[in-house]
A and B are shown apart, each in its own frame.
Chain A
Amino acid sequence: QLQLQESGPGLVKPSETLSLTCTVSDDSIGSRNYYWAWIRQPPGKGLEWIGNIYYSGSRYSDPSLESRVTISVDTSKNQLSLRLTSVTAADTAVYYCARGWGDSSVGVFDIWGQGTTVTVSS
């Protein structure tokens, strides 16, 4: 079964840039059948959608994060990446990558990574 694995620093200083990678266990990241997402969950709180990226290269992200977030795919490495600039304590969360599928849906996330905890603190 396909697996997703997030990786990156667990601690980031305020005002710095958070960079995470999600490694996909096969080459489906280059398939037009799927799309990819980042979702986060602050401690003790609910799920927050960060953004999606599609085979076409199109990307959509939450307006509250749009000016700070970059989502990209490297098909040669089977990796999805997240970059979030100018972080604050409010960005402390468990960050998940996820795979989505479906021609007419953009939120059917059927496979998730285990999540990686990022703490923003000096």
Chain B
Amino acid sequence: AIQMTQSPTSLSASVGDRVTITCRASQGITNDLHWFQQKPGKAPKLLIFTASRLQSGVPSRFSGSGSGTDFTLTISSLQPEDFATYYCLQDYNYPLTFGGGTKVEIK
């Protein structure tokens, strides 16, 4: 199975900060990588699909980039509602595998 490694596992940031989260695949996955946001007690929400495409209704401060093995989720200006845990997911092949998550906390 393809291993997805997210870093950092957690970070503290302030409102207005630029935040970058990285996801690394154990082998090349082209651009078959999606990003989800999860708030406590809630279901995950799709943010970015196929590495860089913004899901409908998601604010433009979220962006994704990368291809192959290294991917990045960037929040250009962190807002109070963005404090959450973020997960990447590869669907290059089965089994689908999630990264371990990155918790974004308030500094």
Contact = CB atoms under 8 A, between A and B. Distances in A.
Given A49-B95, A106-B96, A63 B1 contact: yes
A107 interface: yes
Contact of A47 (B45, B50, B55, B98): B98
Given A47-B87, A105-B91, A107-B34, A115 B98 contact: no
Contacts of A60: 94-95
A63 B55 CA distance: 30
A27 interface: no
Given A46-B101, A63-B95, A105 B44 contact: no
B95 A106 contact: no
Specify the main secondary structure of chain B where it touches its partner: loop
Interface of B: 1, 32, 34, 36, 38, 42-46, 49-50, 55, 87, 89-91, 94-101
A38 B5 CA distance: 22
8 contacts: A39-B44, A46-B100, A49-B95, A49-B96, A107-B89, A107-B91, A109-B34, A113-B43
A112 B44 contact: yes
A108 interface: yes
Contacts of B100: 46
Interface string A35-48: 00001000000111
Contacts of A110: 46, 55
B28 to A, nearest CB: 16
A62 B43 CA distance: 20
Contacts of B43: 96, 112-115
